[in-house]
Amino acid sequence: MHGSADHPESSVSREAVGAPHESPALPPTDQAPGPSEPPTETAGQDAAPPADSTTMVFRPAPEPELPDTPVPQVEPVVQAGGPTEPLAVHHVGIAVSSIDQAMQFYGEKLGLSVVSRVALPERSLKVAFVRTGNTLIELLEPTSDSSTVARFIERRGPGLHHLCFGTPDIAEHLRDLKDKGVELIDDTPRPGGLGSVAFIQPAAAHGVLIELLQERLPDAEAPY
């Protein structure tokens, strides 16, 4: 019979003729639709601020403008009778047992040189002035065991002996110090290696022996 439903030639599969494939229907769900959830933050990224947030930016208050104030000029105080300029260190005195032995250090090791040697027989001393970059060192060698420098070395050993300041008028300077109550060793100047000198008691200068020096007039060349 023609048109029979079970004829093998009339049975054509859908896949053979290219019929569209229909997806199977998903089973129904009983969960009711709810409000939408916010997106999940990605790890390592900062979450965006809420839409209604306000960002506060703090800025320092501007400093008030102050008027330019001139710096007051301080005038140097000049005391009557004393020097009108700051005292300059002329040299540092060092007591030694032997100038030649001392120069093995100051000359050979430090590279300094002697610029003048002076004999002071009235003070039982030989002195040598050593030049440095900005001052002099006076090496003091006693020539008698009874000299003040020899007694200094006996009590304290070789070392720093005194600090010397130059002054333009030593006699006036001594009078000024005496009027101020400073205790002096020498009320009047005496001869020194480079000019007139005078000493101040160490107790008046906190334990330091201070020498004042007024150099000779430049009829002889200074050693520096």
CATH of the domain at 124: 3.10.180.10
Is residue 80 included in any domain, yes or no?
no
Distance CA 132, CA 92 (A): 11
- Element housing 92 (H / E): strand 89-95
Measured CA distances, 109 to 103, 114, 119, 130, 150 (Å): 9, 14, 25, 13, 26
14, two tokens: 């859908």
pLDDT value, residue 8 = 46
Distance CA 40, CA 26 (A): 27
pLDDT tens, residue order, the chain (224 aa): 444 444 444 444 444 444 445 555 555 555 555 555 555 554 445 555 555 555 666 666 676 665 665 555 544 344 555 666 789 999 999 999 999 999 999 999 999 999 999 999 999 999 999 999 999 999 999 999 999 999 999 999 999 999 999 999 999 999 999 999 999 999 999 988 899 999 999 999 999 999 999 998 654 444 44
CB 193 within 8 A of CB 127: yes
**Chain centre to alpha carbon of residue 58:** 38
Pairing of strands 195-200, 159-166: unpaired
Is residue 39 included in any domain, yes or no?
no
Amino acid sitting at position 200: I
Is residue 84 included in any domain, yes or no?
no
Is residue 59 included in any domain, yes or no?
no
pLDDT value, residue 131 = 96
Domain span at residue 174 reads: 89-215
Read off the pTM.
0.61
Is residue 22 included in any domain, yes or no?
no
Distance CA 147, CA 189 (A): 19
Is residue 54 included in any domain, yes or no?
no
Is residue 125 included in any domain, yes or no?
yes
pLDDT value, residue 46 = 53
The structural domain count of the chain equals 1
pLDDT value, residue 149 = 96
Q: Which residue has the tokens 């250090």?
A: 105
pLDDT value, residue 216 = 83
pLDDT value, residue 17 = 45
Other beta carbons less than 10 A from residue 175's beta carbon: 15
Is residue 33 included in any domain, yes or no?
no
